[in-house]
A and B are shown apart, each in its own frame.
Chain A
Amino acid sequence: MQKDESLTLLRQVMLLINLALCAFISAVFVLTPLRAAQRAEGVHFLQGLSSLPAAPWSVAFAAMGFAAFVMIDLLCRRGKLGSGRPALWLEPAFALLVILALHLDYNGLLLLAVVNLVDRLRGRGRMRFLAAMTSLYLLTSLDVLRSGLGMVSVSEYLAYYEGQPRQLMQSAIGLLSALNLILFLGYMVILVGRRTEENAAIRRLNGELERANEKLSVLNVQLKNYAAESERMAETRERNRLAREIHDTLGHALTGITAGADACIEMMDISPDMARKQMELIAKTARAGMNEVRRSVSALRPDALERFRLSEALAKLCSEMQQTSHAEIRLDMQQTDLRLSQDEEDAVYRIVQESVTNAIRHGHATEINVCLSCQERRMSIVVQDNGIGCAKIEQGFGLRHMRERLRLLGGSLRVDGTNGFRIEADIPLRWGDEV
């Protein structure tokens, strides 16, 4: 910002100097012939010239050219010229008009045009512009061109004056021209300096960007690895889940069928009617099991839960198990309307189903108490049977799956086989969060 201001200041000072110089030279071109004519020294004045001087009024072209030059620059800076492209040739053209009107005596206006326009161009365009302006500057510096065009230089006009005023005027012109050149050089030096700084900043930013890119690619590889791993994990989880489902549905149904069939064998001789009833139950269980499997394959959700609320599904489960196994199953649910999420409902249902199945299959229990309670956003499931229990608990497939299910929900499982078999599951509920 600081530098921009100094550039603007330099440009404005240059404009003032150019104005002063052009005005001064114009005044010499107008007033000298008038003075000579007034003093009847026309012949003397003409004798000293190399060719016929232009009529004094021709200087008006210089004034008009200068005004147009400034106007174009102003419009361009205000953005009234669209892309500003017309200024690129209009400004030099008007500068040339002024230079020609001032007998090629002062071409510093081209430097001002360069200062005005150089910042509007980039790359090749700028190179071409600068080359054109340089050749124009050199061309207008040629004395040969001036004599070829039959123009009279200001120094020939000044030769008409006496020693001291002439020296004074010549020095003034020389001094202002030199000052204009120096300001031009200063402007260019500052401009180039600023460009260099900008370039350095751009290089620095580029370096930073490259480093960030490198980091990003490393992270990308890590992310890819992670994605692959998590895909593998998902696969494993899905496999486990399928295994669980098969165990839960088929295992459960087969247990019921096995138990029912055993009972049927025993009853066959005693009461064929009872056995027949039993057979019908077995067939029903087998069909339910088959439905379960079908559903498992399609939707993987307990069928009962699909159709009933958790409490109803559990009640149905228990009554069916009781009918097929002759064990007395008591279900105690303190709250029937538990707003559980789907996976929680699934887990509760499967835990109860597995526990009851285990009690019948492994514990040969005749009495099973299922108790579900809910306290402080924790659900606890207790299944107690009066079966044979076991001194050493073997981690079967069923128990492991119960643990896995609970772990996914953040819950825990305790088993005790000393007095019958007791399973205590503890599940933290999320429903409070959801509501």
Chain B
Amino acid sequence: MMRAVKRLTGGGLLAALVLAVTVFGSSRETVITVGVIAGSYWDAPTGNCYAVIDDAIARFEQAHPNVRVEYTSGILKRDYSEWLADQYLLGKEPDVFLVMPEDFGMLAELGALQPLDSLLQNDGAVSEADFYPAALESGVSGGVQYALPYECVPTLMFVNKTLLEAEGIPVPDSDWTWEDFYAICAKVTRDTDGDGTIDRFGSYGYTWRDALVSNGAALFDENGSRCLIAEPSSVEAVEFAQKLEQLYVDCDITARSFDEGNVAFRPFLFSDYRTYQPYPWRIKRYSGFEWDCIPMPGGPSGSGRSELSTVLAAISSRSSQQALAWELLKELTCSDETQEMLYTDSHGVSALRRVTQSPQTQRILQQDTPGDSQLGLEILSDVMEQAVTAPHFRSYDQTLLLAESLVATAMEDDHNLALQLQRVQRELEEYLQN
């Protein structure tokens, strides 16, 4: 009898507790936290760096009453990796957050990110086909989609139109090749004032890595287990870079000569183009000459043109609000409103085809740029379609540093580049294995 009474009391208390928690929980608003970078990842100056995020949050909160979205402001790009890592270590990471390309490999391999494949498949509103392939690919690790592209920036080729005009050379088409590129560079590079030193240059800052990408080659395979620098297409690319560099032997090309209008070509981030092309900046920085951006020149064996740099958005694998987090992630990466704002309030490209190709985007781009700019809608979309993404693995950054110094050394040696690159490949693979 006593036991029954005790049990009954215990059960009643438990039920009351559950009820209280439920009532309390439902009456309280759910809080979703977001991790965002202050300012541009590509160091482009912006006005209100939280404008896009704030609007997206406002829309999300309106669509989801009783849900409040919070973020910590003021985390600069240089602190963001450490901040995110620390939040993870303290178990306080945000539910949804932006992921910088260099952090993605580590976070995905640690299992810190929620796999999105099943969410993508089960969500009727989103399809993988909505995104440009390279942008979507940048959120894949080990065959699993861990993040969606939030904002992309492709690399373009800056063209000094005034200089080319002076040389009587037309601005190249968007499907120009290495040969066109080399021919122009060879023609332009000379001593104009007759003082014995070369003062006009074909290109500045075009490296073997740019050549590699445009020739369909890659430094590493996808999961970072192999180095591919000794593959024929890679050798071809490095040879081209070597050939180009030999044009400027004993020359001292600096950013200053470029700014002064003495360089014809320079690889240029789309975000920089968007920053400096519109009115006030355009006058401030490159006032002495007319300029434009075109796609990078294509190599003989590749269709890809340029490397795509992508800031991703992901969900923490430990988030307790997976469903809401997915909704918020969609608001950030898949909603037309948010992605359209990238063109008005940021300097990147939307990874959504329908947004980037929309007439409105075209209008915005047209508005900002002078009438004779070549960079139209088709070109931008083509560049995005043809872009490639760098592999993501944990030691990518360190291995890349080593590769740069090793390839540079190999390029300095004149004989048998292929053999040199074999050696580089062996060395890099050893490093990757450890």
Contacts and interface: CB of A to CB of B under 8 A. Distances in A.
A236 to B, nearest CB: 72
A86 B112 CA distance: 38
A42 B89 contact: yes
Contact of A37 (B81, B86, B111): B86
A55 B86 CA distance: 11
Contacts of A50: 110
Interface in B81-111: 81-82, 84-86, 88-92, 103, 106, 110-111
B85 A54 contact: no
A52 B111 contact: yes
B141 to A, nearest CB: 13
Looking at B82, B92, B111, B112, which has the most chain A CB atoms within 10 Å of its CB? B82
Interface in B316-348: 317-318
Interface in A16-52: 33-34, 36-37, 40, 42-43, 45-47, 49-52
Contact of B90 (A40, A47, A55): A55
B85 A46 contact: yes
A46 B92 CA distance: 15
A58 interface: yes
Contacts of A84: none
Given A46-B106, A56-B91, A58-B91, A51 B111 contact: yes
A43 B111 contact: no
Contact of B86 (A36, A49, A150): A36
Contact of B85 (A42, A56, A57): A42
Contacts of A43: 81-82, 85, 103, 106
Contact of B89 (A46, A47, A51, A58): A46
Contacts of A33: 89-90
B373 to A, nearest CB: 40
Nearest to A152: B110
A46 B394 CA distance: 10
B17 to A, nearest CB: 18
Interface in A125-174: 150
B90 A56 contact: yes
A411 interface: no
A44 B103 CA distance: 12
Interface string B292-317: 00000000000000000000000001
Contact of A52 (B90, B92, B110, B394): B110
A417 interface: no
A291 to B, nearest CB: 77
Contact of B88 (A34, A46, A150): A46
Contacts of B110: 46, 49-52
A28 to B, nearest CB: 13
A261 B81 CA distance: 152
Interface in B182-198: none
Contact of B394 (A47, A53, A57): A47
Interface in B390-419: 394
A55 B85 contact: no
Contacts of A49: 110
B88 A52 contact: yes
Interface residues of B, number: 18
Q: Is the interface of B mostly helix, strand, loop or mixed?
A: helix
B111 A150 contact: yes
Nearest to A33: B89
Given A42-B82, A52-B317, A150-B111, A47 B88 contact: no
A42 to B, nearest CB: 3
Looking at A40, A42, A50, which has the most chain B CB atoms within 10 Å of its CB? A42
A40 B81 CA distance: 10
Looking at B84, B86, B88, B90, which has the most chain A CB atoms within 10 Å of its CB? B86
A32 to B, nearest CB: 8
A355 to B, nearest CB: 87
A53 B318 CA distance: 11
A40 B82 contact: yes
A46 B102 CA distance: 14
B394 A36 contact: no
Contacts of B111: 51-52, 150
A34 B91 CA distance: 10
Contacts of A52: 88, 110-112, 317-318
Interface string B103-125: 10010001110000000000000
A55 B93 CA distance: 10
B89 to A, nearest CB: 4
Contacts of B90: 33-34, 37, 55-56
Contacts of B88: 42, 46, 52-53
A36 B86 CA distance: 7
A40 B78 CA distance: 12
Contacts of A58: 91
B89 A53 contact: yes
Contact of A45 (B84, B89, B112, B317): B89
A36 B88 CA distance: 11
B78 to A, nearest CB: 11
A40 B91 contact: no
Contacts of A51: 110-111
A305 to B, nearest CB: 73
Nearest to B89: A33
Contacts of A37: 85-86, 89-90
A50 B111 CA distance: 9
A36 B91 contact: no
Nearest to A50: B110
Interface of A: 33-34, 36-37, 40, 42-43, 45-47, 49-58, 150
30 contacts: A33-B89, A34-B89, A36-B86, A36-B89, A40-B82, A40-B86, A42-B85, A42-B88, A42-B89, A43-B81, A43-B82, A43-B85, A43-B103, A43-B106, A45-B85, A45-B89, A46-B89, A46-B106, A46-B110, A47-B106, A49-B110, A50-B110, A52-B111, A52-B318, A53-B88, A53-B89, A55-B90, A55-B91, A55-B92, A58-B91
Top 7 closest A-B pairs, CB basis? A55-B91, A42-B85, A33-B89, A37-B86, A42-B86, A52-B110, A52-B112
Given A42-B88, A51-B110, A56-B91, 4 more contacts: A46-B85, A47-B394, A52-B110, A52-B111
Interface of B: 81-82, 84-86, 88-92, 103, 106, 110-112, 317-318, 394
